[in-house]
Structure 1
Amino acid sequence: MSEKEEICEIVSSHFPCETIKNIRLPSKLGCDNIIYLIEFCSDTIIVFRRSLKIDSSKISSEFKLNSDDNGMPYFPMHRPGHQAWVLELLKNEQICPKLLALNSEKNYLIESYKSGQDLNEFSLEICKELGEFLHVLHSIKMNKFGYMSEQPGVGVYSSWLKMFEADFHNLTEDQYPLKEIYLSMVPYLTEFNNPVLVHADISSENIRVLNGHLNGVIDYGDCLCGDGLYDIGQFFLFAKAEWKYVDAIAQGYKLSNGAKSWTKSEKQCIRFYACYFALWLKSDN
């Protein structure tokens, strides 16, 4: 049986009253999940997700950043069960896809499809709406820090600082300015003790826009336990360091703050996280 035939069989078992018209890959090809868009004759579209690599030998209480075969590292958050857990936490949020089916043993989940286009053109209104969603996401408390462990909601590190130590300690001499920025942030990273649910992949292809408004934030396979400003820093880099868009996020993010603007210390954190992402992207290429 081919993979598409298997997927047809699985989907039909969950949606017996629907007839599959088409199965296609989306424009976004994830590095940790394979994603198919399933279109029914009723014109309804659903999303079928399956992890690309789940090595049962690495599923243990001990978190392993590196795979033994130099392949893709094993991250528990890549598992359908972990991603389904996030979708359930956000089930009342219109912006988030709805969990439709989960089978952890067969390594798949099915979620609703968020229509629209990738965010390729920024607008202050969309940024404000994104801020409103991130406010909700970052209100969900986590335990410990960093990459998600085998237990959803619990990070693998005892401090937020641990998330960054290795990358910044291995900088070359020509990257000294980055190290200076990191060293200035060490006290904050050490003392930070309010871990929340972080999306950790706020990028164009994960933000869905429809008719000039935010219609979806998708792909929760990289979620972390940490500082919510981590997501803002990634968006700052994505927005090519244009503060007006990050300031627009604050308009929706700071619902309980009359000022509705970032403080000096928050801006320092946002810049640092943007630097971290820039460093990560450089090392990944």
Structure 2
Amino acid sequence: MTNTVIKKAEQIAEDFLQETAKDSYQILGKGIVNEVCVVETNSNKVVIRMNSKDTYPTFLKEKWCIEQALAAGIPSPEVLSVGIFGETAYMIQTFVDGDNGLDSPKHRDQIWRKLGEYLHIIHNIPVKGFGENLDDAGQGVFSSPPHPGSDAVGWAT
């Protein structure tokens, strides 16, 4: 299975970058939602996040959120592309070298303090509404779709 995932990531990266992959590997055990691979060419190193094609809107929302975080000064990867390849939705991001928080040699208090600083910044990004759907990227309008137990009324104001 891993080899198939890596090959798909390489194809997505090669199509976008117009270069041949020279090295690639899957990142395992660091996330619970997406298949994530790193693909390196002669002049680029990117992260390919993949999931089923029905998650495409989620990738678009995440792209918007990452762009807002970057604009607010939070270090983040740049989103290079979001698309669909066959039955797979994908996001291509720049590779950012560093430690995963779980693997960092830094003291946990330092990590949590920095996350709190970033959360304060994120909390001040203007949005309207609440929910998993990004309805209007230009206005930052979110909504939650009706679901069992809801009142079927959106939260957007």
Alignment partners' CA distance in 1, 2:114 and 2:134: 32
User: Which residue is equivalent to 1:114?
Assistant: 96
Counterparts in 2 of 1:104 and 1:9: CA distance versus 1, 3 Å: closer
User: Which residue is equivalent to 2:48?
Assistant: 48
1:151 to 135, 140, 153: 135
Query: Is the 2:56–2:83 Cα contact (8 Å) retained in structure 1?
Result: no
Matches within 5 A, 1:38-187: 38-42=39-43, 44-52=44-52, 54=54, 79-92=58-71, 93-104=73-84, 107-120=89-102, 121-145=106-130, 147-149=131-133, 151=135, 153-156=141-144
Match of 2:144, SS state, is strand
Higher helix share: 1
Counterparts in 2 of 1:102 and 1:157: CA distance versus 1, 3 Å: closer
Counterparts in 2 of 1:52 and 1:119: CA distance versus 1, 3 Å: same
Question: Alpha-carbon deviation of 1:139?
Answer: 0.8
Alignment partners' CA distance in 1, 2:125 and 2:20: 38
Post-superposition Cα deviations, 1:12-54, rounded to whole Å, max 9, x if no partner, equal: 22222x4422221113453332111112345x53110112462
Query: Is the 1:25–1:37 Cα contact (8 Å) retained in structure 2?
Result: yes
RMSD over aligned Cα atoms: 3.4
User: Number of aligned pairs?
Assistant: 137
Counterparts in 2 of 1:85 and 1:118: CA distance versus 1, 3 Å: same
Specify every segment of 5 or more residues in structure 1 that has no aligned partner in the other structure, as ranges.
Answer: 55-75, 159-164, 167-194, 196-224, 226-285
Post-superposition Cα deviations, 1:201-225, rounded to whole Å, max 9, x if no partner, equal: xxxxxxxxxxxxxxxxxxxxxxxx9
Identity of aligned residues (%): 20
- Give the structure-1-normalised TM-score: 0.39
| Structure showing greater relative contact order (alpha-carbon pairs closer than 8 Å, 6 or more residues apart) | 1
Matched residue type, 2:70 = K
User: Which residue is equivalent to 1:212?
Assistant: none
Alignment partners' CA distance in 1, 2:97 and 2:62: 20
Higher strand share: 2
Query: Is the 2:51–2:90 Cα contact (8 Å) retained in structure 1?
Result: yes
User: Which residue is equivalent to 1:37?
Assistant: 38
Alignment partners' CA distance in 2, 1:78 and 1:29: 22
Question: Alpha-carbon deviation of 1:133?
Answer: 1.8
Alignment partners' CA distance in 2, 1:13 and 1:84: 20
Q: Which has the larger radius of gyration?
A: 1
Counterparts in 2 of 1:131 and 1:82: CA distance versus 1, 3 Å: same
Counterparts in 2 of 1:104 and 1:137: CA distance versus 1, 3 Å: farther
Match of 2:135, SS state, is coil
Matched residue type, 2:83 = N
Alignment partners' CA distance in 2, 1:80 and 1:34: 13
Q: Does 1:11 align with 2:13?
A: yes
Question: Alpha-carbon deviation of 1:99?
Answer: 0.7
Match of 1:20, SS state, is coil
Specify every segment of 5 or more residues in structure 2 that has no aligned partner in the other structure, as ranges.
Answer: none
Alignment partners' CA distance in 2, 1:123 and 1:3: 33
- Give the structure-2-normalised TM-score: 0.65
